[in-house]
Structure 1
């Protein structure tokens, strides 16, 4: 029993890490939020987190990363994505398991070279699966709370895990709040800002209300809070995520969470590059 409990905690931390929250209770609430919309996808999320965490343990990846749930979240996203885009079959199960293992390996490689993986292993894995196996997008119904504005913000949270459901988004916000109230407030602000910007630019109202411009902004906002206290960079990373999302829509590419990754990589590179420039200028002056 003592062995099972810690492992279960690591698995749910993996779910929490999808939104950069290394908290098992947050991860459990994420699973419950998904279950509100789809029990099957909730089961897939947990299975994916188990696969990634177990594979990391079998391969003897760094214990600290395993206990923090860092090898569970990309695998969980792959499992949700595969279950969302493909009908259940033996092939789907194979894709889920192999995809989860591959994403976990990519995560380990990127960490080994001190890169910033975020959800890139999930994006790369799903892109490869899309390239090999023709996809069928499930038509899941929207659930509104009465006004499109509130709906757009809440679904911005749900769409992080392919959940076009406002109640699921509300539970996700609560889950983040349980771990860090500040993160929850900033994430809601990010989703709202993304929706307002998209509205002012006269982009598709259907996409705005469905949270398609907000979910990458939510992830970008949470990630940049861990990088820097500079609030103007928080605004910049949100605007970049919106821009990259729209660009991928125009190019008819599967965006997934890649706009968030591109935005945060740009800001992280800028944070790293600017101090180096300052140091070089100081050296030149002396």
Structure 2
């Protein structure tokens, strides 16, 4: 009895931390602890918002009767945490932000079931799309497009390493290099390969935006590297070339969002990952169809060889 009483709180804590780890696509409580530490060193308000959103989403998942195993893996909590973070970023008043965080996180959890089934039927993952859909629903009520900042002397003062690490930090809405180190370390605790892909994705995206002529303030804050990091993470299982192509698509989409003045958030990462996975699936199907006739010919030839061998060794022959 005593052991069971002590086990339950730790299970709940592990579920919460895995929800944070899933933000950077890692089912690992240690990764989640590093992400939580990154929020704390960046802005304690972010940690409160993420905790509020994750708890609300997990409660919503339980009320909807979702698979408890998925909840324990953090798959229902991480979009809630992201929804809470978005509310804290875009809404200045703390009380209003917390209220919106709870409502948005619960809505993201309730949307997740049917939305995930729809995407699964097409062979796609949901990633942060539930958070995006819910946030875009309320964001027009409070969002004002930021004024364009002219790019000037970007190379003279920009610290590339600090901007790169800030790009990793922005995968979880944190905004400084120390937070980026903590998150990168958390990913490495789960998978060193994933950490390398995240770092490379952030570096490629940041470099591409700089070559295009993005403003130095956004580069230094990491606002142009996080979609590349997430895309590379999501496509790491598909290989280096797929990850590179995905990062390129995410850069193009983020540039389009910048020109239009729309708050893309993680949409470039989600759409770029979907695009590459659909292209790879279609390529495999085409390749399988093109190989089918050859395979049939090979099977026919092999059957003919076996028949000839049988006739040669048959006593009747």
- What secondary structure is seen at the aligned counterpart in 2 of 1:2? helix
Number of aligned positions between the proteins:
276
1:243-254 alignment runs, 5 A limit: 243-254=252-263
In structure 1, the partner of 2:8 is: 3
For residues 99 and 248 of structure 1, the distance between their equivalents in structure 2, rounded to whole angstroms, comes to 23
* Deviation per residue, 1:219-255 (Å, 9 max, x gap): 00000013x1x31111101111111111111111111
For residues 3 and 220 of structure 1, the distance between their equivalents in structure 2, rounded to whole angstroms, comes to 35
In structure 1, the partner of 2:21 is: 16
Aligned-residue offset at 1:102? 1.0
- What secondary structure is seen at the aligned counterpart in 1 of 2:26? coil
Aligned-residue offset at 1:282? 3.2
CA RMSD, Structure 1 to Structure 2 (Å):
1.9
- 73, 80, 84: which is aligned to 2:78? 73
In structure 1, the partner of 2:35 is: 30
Normalised to the residue count of structure 1, the TM-score between the two structures is 0.91
Aligned-residue offset at 1:137? 8.9
After superposition, the Cα gap between the structure-2 partners of 1:2 and 1:136, relative to the gap in structure 1 and judged at 3 Å, is: farther
Aligned-residue offset at 1:173? 0.8
In structure 2, the partner of 1:141 is: none
For residues 68 and 127 of structure 1, the distance between their equivalents in structure 2, rounded to whole angstroms, comes to 26
In structure 2, the partner of 1:142 is: none
1:143-182 alignment runs, 5 A limit: 148-182=159-193
In structure 2, the partner of 1:48 is: 53
Aligned-residue offset at 1:201? 2.4
For residues 82 and 111 of structure 1, the distance between their equivalents in structure 2, rounded to whole angstroms, comes to 23
- 2:239 maps to 1:234: no
5+ long unaligned stretches in structure 1: 139-145
- What secondary structure is seen at the aligned counterpart in 2 of 1:3? helix
- What secondary structure is seen at the aligned counterpart in 1 of 2:96? helix
Q: Which moved more, 1:169-178 or 1:108-117?
A: 108-117
For residues 181 and 246 of structure 2, the distance between their equivalents in structure 1, rounded to whole angstroms, comes to 23
Aligned-residue offset at 1:104? 1.2
After superposition, the Cα gap between the structure-2 partners of 1:150 and 1:29, relative to the gap in structure 1 and judged at 3 Å, is: same
5+ long unaligned stretches in structure 2: 1-5, 147-156, 297-317
Q: 8 Å contact 2:90–2:143 — kept in the other structure?
A: yes
